[in-house]
Structure 1
Amino acid sequence: MNSYLVYFEVFANPYFEITINSVKISSIEVDITGSVIFQFLILENSKFQQTKNHNQKVSSKSKYNNTLNNNDQVADESLTAFNDLKLGKKYKFIIYTLNDAKTEIVVDETSTDGDYDSFLEKLPENECKYAVYDFEYEIGGGEGKRSKIVFFTWSPDTAPVRAKMVYASSKDSLRRALNGVAADIQGTDFSEVAYESVLERVSRGAGSH
């Protein structure tokens, strides 16, 4: 038995019922946006049976292991900005976000500021973001400096639950598109993205090359 995240949109009354393997989940109340994300246990290969309640129009967008559709795209500008950072050293970091329709990952902001604290200031306390950072650090033995590209998934504990689930589900679309990332950081609070925490991660391994 596995746990799956399932996403539903409701276009009318915020109450509907779903039958899964003859087990009915009914009267599920959604938020003001008309959507609900919830988690439950289902058997492998089980079928979803949608039941309309009081003739309400319900659209189901269920997808195993993901809360977004496959048509989510990484915008061309997102890949261009990444290559400018990786190959041209044009930027120190890039902040990515989902567009308003939650169908495309776009560039939110770029920066040439080399101060790591400036990067942290761009991570909002209550919103999810993605980021890449050209992380430069000293290595021991007088061997000089190294740099590695770090991918951040910023999902603070105080962000809305729906946003955290959506960003978690769409992360792979962006991550797979960015070739050359050396380390991944999942941040739920600022201690997890602090310079020392990231340094420990990227400098792991012999030589840190």
Structure 2
Amino acid sequence: MLIANYLLTCGILQANAASGMAVHDDCKLKFLELKAKRTYRYIIYKIEEKQKQVVVEKLGEPANGYEDFTASLPADECRYAVYDFDFVTEENCQKSRIFFIAWSPDTSRVRSKMIYASSKDRFKRELDGIQVELQATDPTEMGLDVFKSRVN
């Protein structure tokens, strides 16, 4: 709390960011479509600072692969993302897990990192059905090998 107060005083963190951003209804609707109907492979969410809310930025079609997903994440801006990861178990069963990714590259602005970090838990609670969470600052922290290791 002391750090948050310091950041507020310095103008790095806004009061509303400390309590979380509003979540656009579309964020939850698209997530439910991904979860229940598998309409999308992934969803990328962006915080619109002016509107003070999280919105859907991009939807990945079911045929899109992991490479399409990672290419959709900006190299120098934070984002939230959900990825429906398909895999085969040791018993040869086809399964999937829904990953929540907090993407915060080292090259993104400090203010942006703070807003995304302080809003993450509230936003994640809005998406009922997240099975695995990852935090990544560069692509190696969310490689396919990391996904595979987290489902077992």
Structure 1 runs, 4 residues or longer, greater than 6 Å off: none
> Structure 2, unaligned stretches of length 5 or more?
none
> Within 2, Cα distance between the matches of 1:3 and 1:100?
24
Residue 160 of structure 1 aligns with an amino acid whose one-letter code is R
Match of 1:5 in 2: 4
Which residues of 2 match residues 66-105 of structure 1 at below 5 A? 68-70=17-19, 72-101=21-50, 103-105=52-54
Tell me, what secondary structure is at the counterpart of 2:12?
A: strand
Higher relative contact order (CA 8 A, sep 6+): 2
After TM superposition, give the deviation of residue 174 of structure 1 in Å: 1.1
Q: TM-score, normalised by structure 2?
A: 0.89
Q: TM-score, normalised by structure 1?
A: 0.66
Using a 3 Å threshold, how does the CA distance of structure 1 residues 114 and 138 change in structure 2: closer, same or farther?
Answer: farther
Q: How many residues are paired up?
A: 150
Does the 8 Å contact 2:101/2:135 carry over to 1?
Answer: yes
In proportion to residue count, which structure has more strand?
A: 1
In proportion to residue count, which structure has more helix?
A: 2
Which residues of 2 match residues 1-209 of structure 1 at below 5 A? 3-6=2-5, 7-8=7-8, 35-37=11-13, 62=15, 68-70=17-19, 72-101=21-50, 103-112=52-61, 113-142=63-92, 144-203=93-152
> Structure 1, unaligned stretches of length 5 or more?
9-17, 19-27, 29-34, 38-60, 204-209
> Within 1, Cα distance between the matches of 2:66 and 2:72?
10
Per-residue CA shift, 1:45-99, capped at 9, x if unaligned? xxxxxxxxxxxxxxxx55xxxx715362111000000001001111110000001
- Percent identity at matched positions? 33
After TM superposition, give the deviation of residue 118 of structure 1 in Å: 0.8
Per-residue CA shift, 1:131-167, capped at 9, x if unaligned? 001110111133x211011000000111111111110
Question: RMSD of the TM alignment (CA)?
Answer: 1.9
Per-residue CA shift, 1:89-132, capped at 9, x if unaligned? 11110000001316111100101143111101011110000000
After TM superposition, give the deviation of residue 36 of structure 1 in Å: 2.7
